[in-house]
Amino acid sequence: MLCLKRKKLLPPEATFREVWKNGDLATKLSFVIMGAAQLKNKQWLKGIIFLLTEVVFFAWLVLGGLATISGLSNLGVNKTIHRTVDAQGYPITVQPDASLPILLYGVLALIVVGLLIYIYYVSLKSTRHLYALNRDGKHIPTTKDDLKSLMDERIHQTLMAIPLIGILIFTVLPLMINILVAFTNYDFKHQIGFSWTGFEAFGKIFTQGNIAYTFFSLLAWTIIWAILATFTTFFFGVLLALLIESKGIKYKGVWRTLFVIVFAMPQFMSLLMMSQFFADGGPINTWLQNMHIISANNPIPFLSDPIFAKATVLLVNMWIGIPVSMLLATAIIQNISQDQIEAARIDGANTFQVFRSITLPQILFVMTPALIQQFVGNINNFNVIFLLTGGGPLNANFYQAGSTDLLVTWLFNLTMKGGIANYNIGSAIGIFIFIVVAGFSLITYRRTNAFKEGSN
């Protein structure tokens, strides 16, 4: 009650309306000229930064910023190569306008405008704060005070500045470009000059012939793959951890180390090696032929038959993923209270009942967020498919895809492989994958016990 009373006694924070109505001339000018109030109150560094930011921004806007932003409306006027004549009458070839740089610089210009709006809001908040300090007769921080604050109680803001700039340039900007490309006709027919086409690319992946058939087939396989890949690595990883931690097993550290070596080896080396082992003429088929188990003319099609290839990628993924689950499960099992297990055994519980009622619930409680992460990772598991099968075997009914391709590897095929640059369709698929993955992650994670207990 005392804290509530003290809060009520504090003067209310000034509103922007009050600042505009009751502020002095410099304060009112700050709504138009950033930094005016700061300079008037001798906050020289802050005032100069605000003022220079506004001057540089409007100079850039006049000299080229507006033209750059307006270029987003049509991504360039000239869309095709054509011949014409110059001022002297000589024939020349006019190339299409480079739409991708126009899009890139236009989006970057919008980000700059957004940053200016944010800086303007920060300047207004600073002006409001100065007004409140003057109104209440309190000390006005000097430039020295502000610098000291940035290196002390506001050090987190100072240290976050560079990472935030990096995120804007290397994450937000490419993400916005990728999203916007989905609404254009940027493909192998329009690699230089392309135009806005709305939702045409989305219509193709959902309704257009073999593209739609490929999309829904690979979507089904991607979901099946993600579920099976996550379940198998989790189940056998937990089983392996239980076996190693069982009483009577000697040299537990040695066994764990052997499996950790599999995890420590670079994944691409393991996958490339496995692709050679399982090839039709690879060591496994050769050994089976030498043992007269199979004939030389009928090798087991580990990678050349659609069903065998899918089973093979699941098997190899288990080889790579089980050690990770084993390490996580081992740490959990070693921290389970043995008193609880002994009490259950005294009550007559057998090994399976102890596992079902005590061990498994605690493993799931801790590992559920990791399982969600593994599931999401498996949806986008490019390495296993690309390095082991290359998406093959080829499927004649698919558009630029093989039988083991996931949506993410199909996206790669559409944009980078075979010279077929369907960037718009690839971007639309990327947006769809993001929506599915983000939606699933948010919904499932918020339903986990770990999240519910953490939010309490």
Task: Evaluate if residue 285 carries a pLDDT over 90.
Answer: yes
CA distance 55 to 127: 18
What is the share, in percent, of the chain residues with pLDDT greater than 90?
Answer: 52
pLDDT at 197 (0 to 100): 95
* pTM (predicted TM-score): 0.83
pLDDT at 418 (0 to 100): 59
Task: Evaluate if residue 88 carries a pLDDT over 80.
Answer: no
CA distance 73 to 196: 8
Residue 118 has a CB neighbour count (10 Å cut-off) of: 10
pLDDT at 182 (0 to 100): 95
Phi and psi at 17, nearest 5°, equal -65, -40
DSSP readout, 149-210? HHTTTTHHHHHHHHHHHHHIIIIIHHHHHHHHHTTB--STT-SSS--B-TTHHHHHHHHSHH
Task: Evaluate if residue 6 carries a pLDDT over 50.
Answer: no
- Predicted confidence band at 10 (pLDDT cuts at 50, 70, 90)? very low
What residues have CB less than 8 Å from 44, skipping those under 6 apart? 38, 143
Task: Evaluate if residue 394 carries a pLDDT over 70.
Answer: yes
- Cα torsion 376, 377, 381, 382 to 10°: value is 110
Task: Evaluate if residue 283 carries a pLDDT over 80.
Answer: yes
CA distance 69 to 72: 6
pLDDT at 260 (0 to 100): 81
Task: Evaluate if residue 11 carries a pLDDT over 70.
Answer: no
pLDDT at 8 (0 to 100): 38
Q: Which residue carries 């001057």 as its tokens?
A: 55
**pLDDT tens-digit series, residues 138-155:** 889 888 888 888 787 777
Task: Evaluate if residue 269 carries a pLDDT over 80.
Answer: yes
Residue 99 burial by CB count (10 A; 0-12/13-18/19+): exposed, middle or buried? buried
Q: Mean pLDDT highest for which of 38-52, 87-101, 331-345, 346-360?
A: 38-52
User: Which SS3 state, helix, strand or coil, does residue 112 take?
Assistant: helix
- Residue-wise burial string across 283-311, b where 16 or more C-beta atoms lie within 10 A, e elsewhere: ebbeeebeeeeeeeeebbbbbbebeebbe
- Which residue(s) pair with 190 in the sheet? none
Handedness of CA 213, 215, 220, 222 (dihedral sign): positive
**pLDDT tens-digit series, residues 107-128:** 999 999 999 999 999 999 999 9
pLDDT at 334 (0 to 100): 87
Task: Evaluate if residue 9 carries a pLDDT over 50.
Answer: no
pLDDT at 235 (0 to 100): 94
**pLDDT tens-digit series, residues 176-201:** 999 999 999 999 888 889 999 999 99
Q: At what angle do helices 44-60 and 143-150 cross, to 10 degrees?
A: 80
Phi and psi at 19, nearest 5°, equal -60, -45
Task: Evaluate if residue 327 carries a pLDDT over 50.
Answer: yes
Q: Minimal CA–CA distance to 218: which of 420, 405, 346? A: 405
Please give the average per-residue pLDDT across 425-436, as a whole number: 92
Q: Which region among 27-41, 81-95, 323-337 has the lowest average model confidence (pLDDT)?
A: 81-95
pLDDT at 423 (0 to 100): 92
CA distance 174 to 176: 5
CA distance 372 to 227: 10
Task: Evaluate if residue 2 carries a pLDDT over 60.
Answer: no
Q: Mean pLDDT highest for which of 140-144, 301-305, 358-362?
A: 301-305
Q: What is the mean pLDDT of the chain?
A: 88
Long-range contacts of 108-116 (CB under 8 A, 24+ apart): 108/173, 109/65, 109/68, 109/69, 110/69, 110/72, 111/168, 111/172, 111/173, 111/176, 112/57, 112/60, 112/65, 113/65, 113/69, 115/168, 116/53, 116/54, 116/57
CA distance 259 to 255: 7
- Which residue(s) pair with 82 in the sheet? 94
CA distance 438 to 28: 45
